[in-house]
Structure 1
Amino acid sequence: MNLWLLVRTTLYAVLAVSSFLTWVLAAAFIGKTESEFDTYYGSTACLLASGLLAFFTLPVLHFMFHRRGKASMVGSLAVELAVVFVLWALFLGGAAGMADRLPGLSSTYCDSSVCSLGRSVEAFAWISWVMLTFLLVGLITFGALGHKRRGSGVWKEPFSVDAGTGHAAGTGATEKGVGHTAAAPPAAAPPTTAAPAPGANYNETRPAEVTAV
């Protein structure tokens, strides 16, 4: 679980860089096509919005809410999963749209600055989409594991709370003791004096003082 938290942080860092580059390069590509061809492509505008949204949204969600580990609806696993899914769909639509509308970008004959910019936008868009795919799969997987352990409450808590299991990191010792308390030793039975059996020798059961008389 701790390994996944490290991987998740790394994915966010790479996504922040790739989304920023997608945003900047998409803006440059749109400006270039408008100046040279007096037009722009809708898929590039979609990537521009996706990169801008990812760059400003995910770091805020991750570092201001999720890493704090405090229960809040804004920083919950459900909100994080929803945001990642929306960005995943936006990057997929924009990157696939560029590949479909501008197939000549990958051609070796397209060596102008416009083609270079277009290829860069598409490349970083796909990198961002791959990072989001890993995040989406990881969040769903560990969220489902947490749901199986303790129910639907795990989706309302930050993922950094004990790696999505819904238990606070500092309560491990307490939780381990629940249901595993050592059973108290059985109380010793009070001493009992057996009554003499019927027909037993009377002299054997009488007090010593009486026998001596």
Structure 2
Amino acid sequence: MLQPGLYALAAVEAAPRLLGQHLVRRTEDGDIRCRIVETEGYGGAEDKGSHAYGGRRTARTEAMFSAGGAAYVYLIYGMYHCLNVVTAAEDEPHAVLIRAVEPLTARDAELMAAYRGIAARKPSDLSGGPGKLCRALRIDKSLNMARFDLHGGPIWLEQGEAPASLDIVQAPRINIPYAEEYALKPWRFYIRGNPYVSVSSTDAQPLILT
């Protein structure tokens, strides 16, 4: 399992450290394992890009106020689900959006493609983007509030590569112009050169983790 201390971190600290970790989805066809390659941090009530900005606590955002380790799943545009890892302490609404994952084996990739119902022309077509990866892993709102720190449930996280060993870059988050000055915060993190990343930014800057 993933080190529990990671779930206690603020979202912008946890987001780059989730890169390289393994996301496991249990399905009726067997477990699918993926490597997390792109994330975005949403840093609590002060972050104008967050659903919980200003402490907004609703039926939709309630999961964000859970203790770190919970799943926050929501729907956008009425059709695409997005998967988040809740971090920080209870009542501190921090969340990390999982933006892209890479299947670990050919079998994982085949199963994900079958669930997506597509023949991906390039890797990012399969699971490069929050909506794409949720379809590929059959993630919907039934997984809201599931725990990533409980092995053997419908979804969990396992220890993967050490983030400090990866070539990580950071860039502004995507599609949040309403966040005003927070729209430019470099809180999107991804593994440079990974073909499953949704968008590679020309203004991305290296991030060194210790």
Classify the TM-score, shorter chain: under 0.3
TM norm structure 2: 0.25
Normalising by the residue count of structure 1, what TM-score does the alignment of the two structures yield? 0.25
- Structure with greater Cα Rg: 1
Bigger strand fraction:
2
Q: Which structure dedicates a bigger proportion of its chain to helix?
A: 1
